[in-house]
C-alpha cells in the first residue's frame, strides 16, 4: 500500500473553555486527568490534559484559538503538498509560528469538518 500521508495518530482534541482554571479543576480535580502540557501560547496558555496513560490529549483552549481535532504528522510540508495535489481543501500554506508552535495546517473534510495536522518529531 502506498503511503499517502505521514499522519501517525490523533494527537489532541481541542475544546473551547471559558475559564481555563475552572476547566483544569474539573478535568484534573474531578475526573482525575493529568496535566500533560501547560505553556504560554500567544496572550494565553496552551493546556493539555489526559487520563493517566492515554495517548490522546484534550486541549483546553480559550476562544480565539481554533477548536477541533489535531492529528500528528512526521512531515507537515510533504502532507500539505500531497493532500493539496489530491484536491483536499487545505490551507494555502503551512503555518509556522517560530518558538510558539510546530509547523501545522488545517484541512476540511467533505462535510466541512476541520482537522489540523501538526508536525511532531519522530521519537
The fold for domain 7-119 equals 2,3-Dihydroxybiphenyl 1,2-Dioxygenase; domain 1 (3.10.180)
Cβ–Cβ under 8 Å, residues 103 and 94? yes
Share of the chain above pLDDT 70, in %: 94
Question: Torsion angle, CA of 55/56/62/65, rounded to 10 degrees?
Answer: 110
pTM: 0.81
| CA-angle at 104, arms to 26 and 98, nearest 5° | 95
Q: How many Å apart are CA 75 and CA 118, to the nearest integer?
A: 9
Tens of pLDDT, residues 42-91 = 778 999 999 999 999 999 999 888 888 999 999 999 999 999 999 999 99
Domain edges within the chain: 7-119
Question: Over the stretch 93-117, which tens digit does the pLDDT of each residue have?
Answer: 999 987 777 899 999 999 888 899 9
| Cα gap 11→14, rounded to integer Å | 10
> What number of CA atoms fall less than 13 Å from residue 85's CA on the CB side?
8
The predicted pLDDT at position 1 comes to 38
- On average, the pLDDT of the chain sits at 90
Amino acid at each position: 500500500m502506498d503511503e499517502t500521508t505521514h499522519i501517525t495518530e490523533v494527537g489532541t482534541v481541542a475544546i473551547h473553555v471559558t475559564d481555563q482554571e475552572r476547566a483544569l479543576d474539573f478535568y484534573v480535580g474531578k475526573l482525575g486527568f493529568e496535566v500533560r502540557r501547560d505553556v504560554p501560547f500567544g496572550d494565553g496558555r496552551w493546556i493539555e490534559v489526559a487520563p493517566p496513560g492515554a495517548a490522546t490529549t484534550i486541549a483546553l483552549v480559550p476562544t480565539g484559538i481554533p477548536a477541533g481535532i489535531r492529528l500528528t504528522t512526521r512531515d507537515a510540508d510533504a502532507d500539505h503538498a500531497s493532500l493539496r495535489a489530491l484536491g483536499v481543501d487545505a490551507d494555502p500554506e503551512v503555518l509556522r509560528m517560530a518558538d510558539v508552535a510546530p509547523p501545522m495546517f488545517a484541512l476540511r473534510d467533505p462535510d466541512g469538518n476541520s482537522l489540523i495536522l501538526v508536525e511532531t518529531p519522530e521519537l
